[in-house]
Amino acid sequence: MKIANTPKPPYYAVIFTSITAEALEGYAETADRMVELAQQQEGFLGFESARDGIGITVSYWKDLESIKHWKNNLEHSIARKKGNEQWYSAFKTRIALVERDYGKI
């Protein structure tokens, strides 16, 4: 996993934080598939993910429209439903406008 090579702000971040439940059947495959699928979406700019007790996945998007389009993707909607009902005991999704960034890469 590398630090996402995002363009100059402004752009959007979707911060998805989760705690997994016990029954994780099909979870890893679906997570991999969602990454593959997200990368094919219009407006996708990159993502970063780590799990260690809590899971944090941040995906980066060009604008709110591309986030909405991805949210309405059928396969993604089915995966989210399973996540909500089965895989996650708790989760939070935050939609945020990246105003500024800096670092060394």
Between 8 and 74, whose beta carbon lies closer to a copy of itself?
8
Query: Contact between 47 and a copy of itself (CB under 8 A)?
Result: no
CA–CA gap between residue 3 and residue 100 (Å, rounded): 16
Using CB under 8 A as the binding rule, the residues of this chain from 6 to 45 that contact a copy of itself are 6, 9, 13, 15, 17-19
Spatial contact of 76 and 68, defined as CB atoms under 8 Å apart: no
Q: What are phi and psi of 77, to 5 degrees?
A: -65, -40
Contacts with 40 (C-beta within 8 Å, 6 or more apart), sequence order: none
Q: Which stretch binds a copy of itself (CB under 8 A): 1-9, 24-32, 34-42, 71-79?
A: 1-9
Please give the residue ranges that form the binding site for a copy of itself (CB under 8 A).
1-4, 6, 9, 13, 15, 17-19, 48-56, 58, 84, 88, 90-105
